[in-house]
Structure 1
Amino acid sequence: MKNVFLLIFVFSTLLMTAQTRIIAHRGYFQAQIPTAENSLKALQNAQALKVYGSEFDVRRSADGILVVNHDEHHGDMEIAETPYEDLKKLMLSNGEKLPTLKQYLKHGKRDPEVKLIVELKPAKTKILEDEIVKQTLQLVKKLGLESQTEFISFSLNICREIRKQEPDSVVHYLNGDLSPQQLKDENLNGLDYHYKLLTEKHPEWIREARALGLKTNAWTVNDPEIYHQLKNQGIDFVTTNIPEQLLKN
């Protein structure tokens, strides 16, 4: 009986001391001096905060260059239909050129303590998605960033392909339509869902994921009250535009 009480005490202590870690959404662009989201400066700002990780979005240009940008378009140019030479002529709002994934990863490598959270955006075909996964993993390996890099995607095919091509990679699913058990069956590492799904519709998924050995993340948490609610539910990570504020809470 004494051993049972000891186990309960240890487990309770672990729950109370477990910390929810912060991921900067598209870098830390809403800093005291604002900068462009997904820019090298936004990544540098996130590194200076010493957050767990900095998230950014990856797309592929018409000539096969992987670039960092959230939207399908850069200005009025559709990235997938435009060569990089044309894309880089249009500067970001902070005066930087549209960064390539290679440039971004090299910058990220300067601070190995901050994880690089790579969101691979869905493409128009499975063949193209598979090629983007292959290119990305080759680049990560070439730069020696396997242990610093984690992956997320709304595309289940992309998540599956990452695990197929690199079984040791960390992959979280974004779309919100799979339960923790389904994610476990897909051999993924965890869920990364919109915060409303985890606070309103399926709050039990955080507990279920933990029981299955999966990690949990919520996006995009820009309200300290929501952050505390998720923290009390035992979530592992939150992705936010206000990392500096949440680090103080």
Structure 2
Amino acid sequence: MKLFSLFAIIVCLVQSSTLIASDQATPELFLKNGVTAHRGNSSEFPENTLPAFQSGIKVGADWIELDLFLTKDGKLVVTHDKTTKRVGDKSRTVAHSTYAELKTVDVATDFRKRHQKTKQECPFQQMPLLEDVLKLVKQQHRTRVSIQPKADCVKQAVALVKQLKMDPWVGFNDGSLTYMSQVKQLAPKIPVFWDRGANTDIDADIKIAKARGFEALVLNHQGITPEKIQKIKAAGLEPGAWTVNDPKLMKQLLKQGIERIYTDDPRLLLKLK
């Protein structure tokens, strides 16, 4: 009887430790390959949908990236544009619509047409909530998610991240200095990838990034030069490029020293590394 009781206690302790571990991220387990799946694996699945994010994780990108808006009824939704016109079967302005209204839009419509797929091959997809994606990401400890706020919703996004205890799984990226600075004010340990244009003043950007505590500068690929890459690295920042889908350009940028590439085709980029 005593032996059985001891065994039961050991089982309970093991189960408890497993539960604790599943709610905590070990930094050493996260992948570090410099591949950001832009809007998920959007070359193979409709952008900013759960299948695209699931695929980005499955193929082995170390980060998946998503875009964020706030609905009329205060829901944080994952979509790139102000309206659903480009991706959906009907046009709705995100900020002027409730989530119930937005859920009726088939955001796989554009992808299905461009890839000449049937509805059976590419079924209806609704716009996901940020919470849906975060919970998906939290189920594993290899891939993290970078959030790009397309509206003034950083405070709400960070609050949700903290509520779900997901700080280790999350980063933020955008070109808005206001939004990215707000991230660091609210959550200093969450990494920020500051997106910059092709013709940006790299010296000024480096000074700002260092002063604000950002971790990376991600440049439009058309403006990248070896000199800019060297300056970014010398400042202790990670140099990145967005958004690159051409394999020749991928190889060129990697050879020049780019450490992170945003791509719609993470599977292709991983093959080249």
Q: CA deviation at 1:178?
A: 4.7
State whether structure 2 residue 46 is matched by structure 1 residue 36.
yes
Q: What secondary structure is seen at the aligned counterpart in 2 of 1:204?
A: helix
Aligned to 1:78: 93
Q: CA deviation at 1:52?
A: 1.0
Q: CA deviation at 1:146?
A: 0.5
Aligned to 1:59: 69
| CA distance 1:178–1:166, shift in 2 (3 Å) | farther
Answer yes or no: is the 8 Å Cα contact 2:216–2:237 preserved in 1.
yes
Map 1:54-203 onto structure 2 (within 5 A). Answer: 54-75=64-85, 76-93=91-108, 94-121=123-150, 123=151, 129=152, 132-176=153-197, 177-179=200-202, 180-199=206-225, 203=226
Q: CA deviation at 1:91?
A: 2.2
- Give the letter for the 1:166 counterpart: A
Larger Rg: 2
Answer yes or no: is the 8 Å Cα contact 2:67–2:78 preserved in 1.
yes
- Cα deviations by residue, 1:5-36 (Å, 9 ceiling, x for unpaired): xxxxxxxxxxxxxx8621111111322xxx21
1:112 and 1:59 mapped to 2: Cα distance?
26
CA RMSD in angstroms comes to: 1.5
Aligned to 1:5: none
> Which aligned runs of 4 or more in structure 1 are off by greater than 4 angstroms?
none
Aligned to 1:12: none
- Give the letter for the 1:238 counterpart: I
Q: Report how many aligned residue pairs link the two structures.
A: 217
Q: Percent identity at matched positions?
A: 31
Aligned to 1:243: 266
TM-score (norm 1): 0.83
Answer yes or no: is the 8 Å Cα contact 1:61–1:67 preserved in 2.
yes
- Unaligned stretches of 5+ in structure 2? 1-31, 86-90, 109-122
- Unaligned stretches of 5+ in structure 1? 1-18, 124-128
1:60 and 1:150 mapped to 2: Cα distance?
18
TM-score (norm 2): 0.76
1:154 and 1:187 mapped to 2: Cα distance?
15
State whether structure 2 residue 235 is matched by structure 1 residue 222.
no
1:208 and 1:29 mapped to 2: Cα distance?
31
Moved more, 35-44 or 185-194: 185-194
2:233 and 2:207 mapped to 1: Cα distance?
11
- Give the letter for the 2:101 counterpart: D
Answer yes or no: is the 8 Å Cα contact 1:20–1:235 preserved in 2.
no
State whether structure 2 residue 36 is matched by structure 1 residue 23.
yes
